[in-house]
């Protein structure tokens, strides 16, 4: 497996472009193939998700995606559905493809009518920019940003020659209950939509769903995976799954790192759980806890808050077996071992200070009850999170 730097345009058969002249942005990705999608579990579902889920359900194929930022087209009733369908037909007409082959996605403010005229007025500019190059990729990634501070993209090439690449957008990472997460992932492998569906669900569970807390999904969350088959290669399914998980975890970590107002990435690594479900509960509780997040912002190794989060996570836990360490990937400092607090000598405290000052803080919790593991990602809670979210619509 090796890294490619052209994002989704590393994948054979994919063209992309996008514009973001102001609050509104528009991205188009053109690539035909078998496809699968994962959608929000929120009971309030935005119009574009309803339209895209219908389209995917018909034939498990996509030829293109049209996505706008600046307006979520959520809670917009019949008018919203009509606007989402209109976005689809604007693109399907220009491409000369069936409307069931076009996916639509939106992200932005909820409850406001979509400015469909703006989409109509700008679609030709985006269409004329479509290109299979790193520029196409990065313009598309930028066009779907809202409060994101950098575009999110990644790509790899598997040993078998197949590429997997994608772009994503996120935000609102303190507890991402409404910072819409969009992911558009492509591969040039030849795979059926059923196989893609299984692989996507598994990989999403170990990546995006470990940033976006279970159930706390936005009205607009959507991840699409399309396989152009342009290489003609049907890869070994385990190799493909591993590659897909790598791509989605990379995008998920970029989303966590760019949480609103974030200054640091937090990775929770949980080992020794009775089940993977339990490991996930603990990992998520840690990266979700505002008290842990605030402590990391303050470079404060307040491990008591980590222990408390593990304790209320719902997972099986025995405090006499618990171990806990902080790491930055280079140094690791063990603070608790088998329920006992380890002594804090000077060298220990110096290392800990260096770790707490790192851009990526890894919190390692060992439960010593079983053999299941999980990772979750989040970011610190900062003054800027409050500023951004108290001024969003006004």
218 interacts with its own copies by CB under 8 A: yes
- Site map (CB under 8 A) of its own copies, residues 64-103, x = contact: --------x-xx-x--------------------------
Q: Which stretch binds its own copies (CB under 8 A): 8-16, 212-220, 226-234, 326-334?
A: 212-220
Cα–Cα distance, 273 to 47 (Å, whole number): 39
Least separation, in Å, of the C-beta of 88 and its own copies?
A: 21
Flag whether 394 is marked binding.
yes
Whether residue 91 contacts residue 55, with contact meaning beta carbons closer than 8 Å, is answered with no
Whose structure tokens read 């060992």? 366
The runs of H, that is alpha helices, within 289-330 are 290-297, 303-312
Structure tokens at 83: 């606007």
Please provide the distance, in angstroms rounded to a whole number, between the alpha carbons at the two ends of the chain: 46
294 is a contact residue toward its own copies (CB under 8 A): yes
Among 147, 275, 302, 358, binds its own copies (CB under 8 A): 302
Select from 22-30, 39-47, 58-66, 97-105 the region that touches its own copies (CB under 8 A): 39-47
Q: Which of these, 69, 22, 92, 85, lies nearest to 184 by C-alpha position?
A: 69
Indicate if 180 belongs to the active site.
Answer: yes
Q: What is the size of the binding site for its own copies (CB under 8 A)?
A: 64
User: Residue 370, interface with its own copies (CB under 8 A)?
Assistant: no
> Does 317 help bind its own copies (rule: CB under 8 A)?
yes
Cα gap 124→127, rounded to integer Å = 5
Burial 59-98, CB ≥16 within 10 A → b, else e: ebbbbbbbbbbbbbbbebeeebbebbbbbbebbbeebebe
Q: Applying CB under 8 A, does 217 fall inside the site for its own copies?
A: yes
Options 3, 59, 149, 319; binder of its own copies; rule CB under 8 A? 319
Given the complex with its own copies, which of 164 and 256 has the nearer CB atom? 256
Nearer to its own copies, 187 or 220 (CB): 220
Among the listed residues 60, 111, 198, 370, the single contact to its own copies using CB under 8 A: 111
Candidates 28-36, 159-167, 233-241, 376-384: pick the segment binding its own copies (CB under 8 A). Answer: 376-384
Q: Quick check: 23 binds its own copies (CB under 8 A)?
A: no
169 is in an annotated binding site: yes
Measured distance CA(16)–CA(66) in Å, rounded: 10
Write out the DSSP string of 146-179. SS-SS-EEEEEE-TTS-EEEEEEE---TTS-SSS
Could you give the dihedral angle defined by the CA atoms of residues 100, 105, 111 and 114, in that order, rounded to the nearest 10 degrees? -80
Burial class (CB in 10 A: 0-12, 13-18, 19+), 117: exposed
Provide the mask over 141-170, with x wherever binding to its own copies is found by CB under 8 A and - wherever it is not. ------------------------------
Q: How far is CA 39 from CA 170, 223, 262, 291, in A?
A: 15, 7, 26, 30
Task: Please report whether residue 357 would count as binding its own copies according to CB under 8 A.
Answer: no
Distance CA 97, CA 62 (A): 10
Q: Which of the residues 40, 107, 154, 180 is marked catalytic?
A: 180
Which residue of 295, 352, 361, 376 would you call a contact of its own copies, by CB under 8 A? Answer: 295
Footprint on this chain of its own copies (rule: CB under 8 A): 41-45, 72, 74-75, 77, 109-111, 172, 174-175, 177-178, 215-219, 289-291, 294-295, 297-300, 302-305, 307-312, 314-317, 319-320, 336, 339-341, 381-383, 385-394
Please enumerate, by residue number, every residue annotated as part of a binding site for substrate: 146, 169, 180, 260, 389, 394
Give the active site residues: 180
Please enumerate, by residue number, every residue annotated as part of a binding site: 146, 169, 180, 260, 389, 394
């Amino acid at each position: 497996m090796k890294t490619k730097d052209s994002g989704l345009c590393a994948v054979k058969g994919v063209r992309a472009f996008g514009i973001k002249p102001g609050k509104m942005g528009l991205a188009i990705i053109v690539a035909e193939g078998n496809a699968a999608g994962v959608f929000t579990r929120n009971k309030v579902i935005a119009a574009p998700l309803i339209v895209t889920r219908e389209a995917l359900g018909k034939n498990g194929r996509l030829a293109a995606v049209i996505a706008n930022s600046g307006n979520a087209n959520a809670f917009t009733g019949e008018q919203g559905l009509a606007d989402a369908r209109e976005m689809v037909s604007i693109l399907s007409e220009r491409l000369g493809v069936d409307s069931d082959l076009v996916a639509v996605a939106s992200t932005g403010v909820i409850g406001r009518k979509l400015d469909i005229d703006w989409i109509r007025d700008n679609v030709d500019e985006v269409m004329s920019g479509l290109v299979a190059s790193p520029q196409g990729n990065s313009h598309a990634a930028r066009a779907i940003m809202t409060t994101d501070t950098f575009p999110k993209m990644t790509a790899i090439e598997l040993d078998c020659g197949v590429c997997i690449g994608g772009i994503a957008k996120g935000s609102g990472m303190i507890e991402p209950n409404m910072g819409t997460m969009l992911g558009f992932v492509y591969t040039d492998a030849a795979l059926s939509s059923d196989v893609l569906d299984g692989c996507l669900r598994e990989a999403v569970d170990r990546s995006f769903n470990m940033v976006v807390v279970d159930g706390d999904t936005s009205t607009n969350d959507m991840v699409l995976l399309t396989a152009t088959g342009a290489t003609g290669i049907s890869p070994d399914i385990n190799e493909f799954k591993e590659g897909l998980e790598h791509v989605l975890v990379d995008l998920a970590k970029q989303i966590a790192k760019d949480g609103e107002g974030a200054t640091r990435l937090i990775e929770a690594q949980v080992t020794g759980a009775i089940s993977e479900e339990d490991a996930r509960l603990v990992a998520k509780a840690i990266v979700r806890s505002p008290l842990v997040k605030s402590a990391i912002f303050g470079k404060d190794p307040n491990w008591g808050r980590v222990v408390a989060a593990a304790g209320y996570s719902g997972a099986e836990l025995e405090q006499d077996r618990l171990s806990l360490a902080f790491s930055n990937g280079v140094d690791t400092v063990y603070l608790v071992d088998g329920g006992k607090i380890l002594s804090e000598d000077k060298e220990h405290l110096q290392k800990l200070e260096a770790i707490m000052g790192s851009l990526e803080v890894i919190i390692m919790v060992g439960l010593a009850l079983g053999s299941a593991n999980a990772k979750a990602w989040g970011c610190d809670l900062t003054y800027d999170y409050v500023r951004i979210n108290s001024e969003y619509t006004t």
